[in-house]
Amino acid sequence: MTSSGISSDTSGEESASFGREGTLESKPERLYKVAFDLPNETATWAHASAERLWTRKTSAKMEVEVRNAPFYVKGIAFGDIVRVRADHDRRELVFENFLTESGHSTVRIILKNGDARDMVDAMIRSFDCSWEIDTTGYLWAIDVPPEVDYGSMRAALLGVAVQGKIGIEEAALSRSHRDRAGFLESNS
């Protein structure tokens, strides 16, 4: 079982601590939110100018590791390392650039048919993926770990999409998932 807590310090910086109950962890994981500015077309339908993702510090200054799957940001997955900068006007850390891929992928699903919820839930569980669901219950951000056979998972998801029950967006595919699924590199 995982325990968590969220706090806000006097500077307005939001942080969280996550740890496993009943384990020998000496300290819970301390997480910080980082703002990822969204392009205008995404910001319009997301009703937000930025998405804030949980991150944790690395050994390098101003480099952090992403700790959740994004709902709106493209090209970022759980475990990726990114550089951030302090934006003093906004009083928050802001994404500056991508540094290192983790091997995880981010896939998003939009439920078009509420009846598909249990089927999609069971399918994602069968591939040992984790996911988050937005407040509407229709947008799912799925973390696909490196060891998952993404080609098989993709085929299963496309089978449901062809039935008109879900929409799929491959928001960030790792090199290993692309290679094992047989995707060709594009020059664009």
Residue spans per domain, the chain? 2-100, 105-181
Strand ranges inside the chain, DSSP E: 2-8, 14-20, 29-37, 50-57, 63-66, 81-87, 92-100, 105-111, 130-133, 139-144, 166-172
Quick: pLDDT tens for 51-109. Answer: 999 999 999 999 999 999 999 999 999 999 999 999 999 999 999 999 999 999 999 99
Give the dihedral sign, CA 81/125/137/176. Answer: positive
Query: What is the side-by-side strand order in the sheet with 166-172?
Result: 130-133, 139-144, 105-111, 166-172
pLDDT in tens, 122-157: 999 999 999 999 999 999 999 999 999 999 999 999
Return the number of other C-beta atoms located less than 10 Å from residue 179's C-beta: 12
What is the rounded CA–CA span in Å between residue 22 and residue 97? 37
Residue range 105-181 in CATH 3.30.70: yes
Mean pLDDT calculated for residue range 31-59: 94
| Lowest mean per-residue pLDDT among 28-32, 55-59, 158-162 | 28-32
Q: What is the residue type of 100?
A: T
What pTM, to 2 d.p., does this model score?
A: 0.82
